Structure 1
Amino acid sequence: MYDMALNRMLPTSEFAEDQPLGHFILTAHVMHRALPIGAFISSAIPLASTFILRRATVYPITMLLLRSNSTGALVSLGVGGAMTLGRMWGREDIEWKDRSWRLLRNTGQTQLDDFSAAGLMVGALLGAAGRGSLPLWRGAVGGAGLGTLAGTVTFMVWKSTLGKKS
């Protein structure tokens, strides 16, 4: 099976009913998957405003993207948590364990999570370094959101071209 970098840090069991940390794993997964969606939307707004509507900006586009994506990332995390809570409200513990166990055992999903997590780390570092006059947290969080989007897109390109052989 594919060597899952993120999943080596999470405990997995042989059977779904024995899966530890089911609530945490499922909630963290959904919140992590919500980040690239939020980054896409948060990037479209300043890009459309700048290039399509031709609004004059006093900030470089990188600062606009980092600022917009820092807000978008925080909103995405909240929406992801709320989505999980809404979907799983009143469900039995075994359902949480089963869904999290399936996520950890799904090779394609874990590959996507690894690409996205790598993008998150690189994006956070680059965002913090290139934030300009933005606060450090905005640069790091905005870069992390953009990084998850970049990691997701990279995975999709890799899977559609090179990944078919594996």
Structure 2
Amino acid sequence: MFGTLWRDLSVIRMSRFWPHTAYEEDQPYGKSILWAHILTRVPPTAAVLGATTAVGGLTLRKLKILAPKALPSSFTTTLLRSIGVSTVYTTGVVAIATALKMHGREEIEWQERSWRLLENKGQVECDDFMYGGMALGLLGGVGKKLPWQVRLGGLGAGSLMGVMTYMGWRYGVKNGKREEDESV
């Protein structure tokens, strides 16, 4: 049932919005595709870093190693705020690292990397789950007065949940096999 539903929804997959050619040297939008890919990896990465920071900070406050905050927030608010702030810092670091790594590269190198991303079925499928998680993470704060850090944290937490759901789906439910693997 879900496999059929997932195939039917394949026309709206985010990675499918980019044109994908038969040959890497013909791949258009190489830089845009690579930048979009890299920057959409920031929220789940920042979610792990931010959650670690939040839990570490709360633990150190409980152990009286750090001074308590004047106005303690709920755990959820603290966690999402930490993820949101981590997303901002991680975006900066990743953008600088990518610019340094790709500086002076030929257009074909951008095209080749982008083409490989779009060719990788696992990557495209992971993107689908991650984008869905991002949307749900953002929807969680609709209609509430929340600081931007918490809203951004919701996006990051949702993206991480999307990636984790993909891992469970692909490697748990499907045992790592794809439909085309089963037909052989």
**TM-score in same-fold range (> 0.5):** yes
Conserved? CA contact 1:22–1:97, under 8 Å: yes
Against the structure 1 CA distance between its residues 117 and 64, is the aligned structure 2 distance closer, same or farther, given a 3 Å change threshold?
same
Against the structure 1 CA distance between its residues 91 and 39, is the aligned structure 2 distance closer, same or farther, given a 3 Å change threshold?
same
Against the structure 1 CA distance between its residues 146 and 153, is the aligned structure 2 distance closer, same or farther, given a 3 Å change threshold?
same
Deviates more, 1:84-93 or 1:100-109: 84-93
Q: State the Cα RMSD in Å.
A: 2.1
Aligned pairs for 1:1-166 (under 5 A) are 3=10, 5-51=13-59, 53-54=61-62, 58-126=72-140, 128-129=141-142, 134-135=146-147, 137-163=148-174, 164-166=176-178
Count of aligned positions: 162
Deviates more, 1:154-163 or 1:40-49: 154-163
Once residues 22 and 153 of structure 1 are traced to their aligned partners in structure 2, the CA distance between those partners, rounded to angstroms, is 28
Partner SS, residue 67 of structure 1: helix
Conserved? CA contact 1:39–1:146, under 8 Å: yes
Once residues 99 and 30 of structure 2 are traced to their aligned partners in structure 1, the CA distance between those partners, rounded to angstroms, is 13
Partner SS, residue 104 of structure 2: coil
Amino acid at match of 2:32: F
Conserved? CA contact 2:130–2:163, under 8 Å: yes
Once residues 80 and 27 of structure 1 are traced to their aligned partners in structure 2, the CA distance between those partners, rounded to angstroms, is 10
Deviation at 1:80, TM superposition (A): 2.2
Which protein has the larger Cα radius of gyration, Structure 1 or Structure 2?
2
Once residues 108 and 160 of structure 2 are traced to their aligned partners in structure 1, the CA distance between those partners, rounded to angstroms, is 32
Once residues 55 and 40 of structure 2 are traced to their aligned partners in structure 1, the CA distance between those partners, rounded to angstroms, is 23
Deviates more, 1:49-58 or 1:115-124: 49-58
Partner SS, residue 165 of structure 1: coil
What percentage of aligned pairs have identical amino acids? 36
Deviation at 1:65, TM superposition (A): 1.4
TM-score using structure 1 length: 0.87
